[in-house]
Amino acid sequence: MEKKVILSGIQATGDLHLGHYIGVLKRFVEMQDEFDCYYMIANLHALTVRRDPKELKENVYKLLASYIAAGLDPDKSTIFLQSQVHEHAELGWVLDCYTYMGELSRMTQYKDKSAKHADNINAGLFTYPSLMAGDILLYQADLVPTGEDQKQHVELTRDLAERFNKLYGETFKIPKPFIEKVGARVMGLQDPTSKMSKSSTLPNDTILLIDTPEEIMKKVKKAVTDSDGIVKYDEENKPGISNLMEIYGIITSKTMDEIENEFEGQGYGNFKVAVADAIIKELEPFRNKYNELMANPSYLEEIYNKGAKKASEVASKTLKDVYEKIGIIR
Q: Interface with ligand AQP by CB under 6 A: which residues? A: 10-11, 13, 19-20, 23-24, 42, 146-147, 149-150, 184-186, 195-199
CB atoms within 10 A of CB 329: 5
- Residue 169 per-residue DSSP state: S
The type of residue at 256 is M
Closer Cβ to ligand AQP, 70 or 319, answer by number: 70
Q: Identify whether 272 is a catalytic site residue.
A: no
What is the Cα–Cα distance from 304 to 85, expressed in whole angstroms?
A: 11
Closer Cβ to ligand AQP, 13 or 318, answer by number: 13
Tell the smallest beta-carbon distance from residue 24 to ligand AQP (Å).
Answer: 4
Alpha helices in the chain (DSSP H): 18-20, 26-31, 53-70, 87-96, 101-105, 108-116, 123-138, 151-168, 213-221, 239-252, 256-262, 267-294, 297-326
Tell the smallest beta-carbon distance from residue 57 to ligand AQP (Å).
Answer: 17
Q: Which helix (H) or strand (E) holds 230?
A: none
Q: Buried (b) or exposed (e) across 231-242, using 16+ Cβ within 10 A?
A: bebeeeebbbbb
Tell the smallest beta-carbon distance from residue 170 to ligand AQP (Å).
Answer: 28
Closer Cβ to ligand AQP, 11 or 318, answer by number: 11
Closer Cβ to ligand AQP, 149 or 159, answer by number: 149
Q: Identify whether 219 is a catalytic site residue.
A: no
Options 4, 198, 254, 317, the catalytic residue: 198
CB atoms within 10 A of CB 325: 13
Closer Cβ to ligand AQP, 21 or 271, answer by number: 21
Q: Which helix (H) or strand (E) holds 143?
A: strand 143-145
Tell the smallest beta-carbon distance from residue 151 to ligand AQP (Å).
Answer: 8
Asked if residues 144 and 177 have their Cβ atoms less than 8 Å apart, the reply is yes
Options 62, 195, 238, 272, the catalytic residue: 195
Tell the smallest beta-carbon distance from residue 205 to ligand AQP (Å).
Answer: 11
Options 26, 113, 238, 272, the catalytic residue: 113
Enumerate the active-site residues: 113, 195, 198
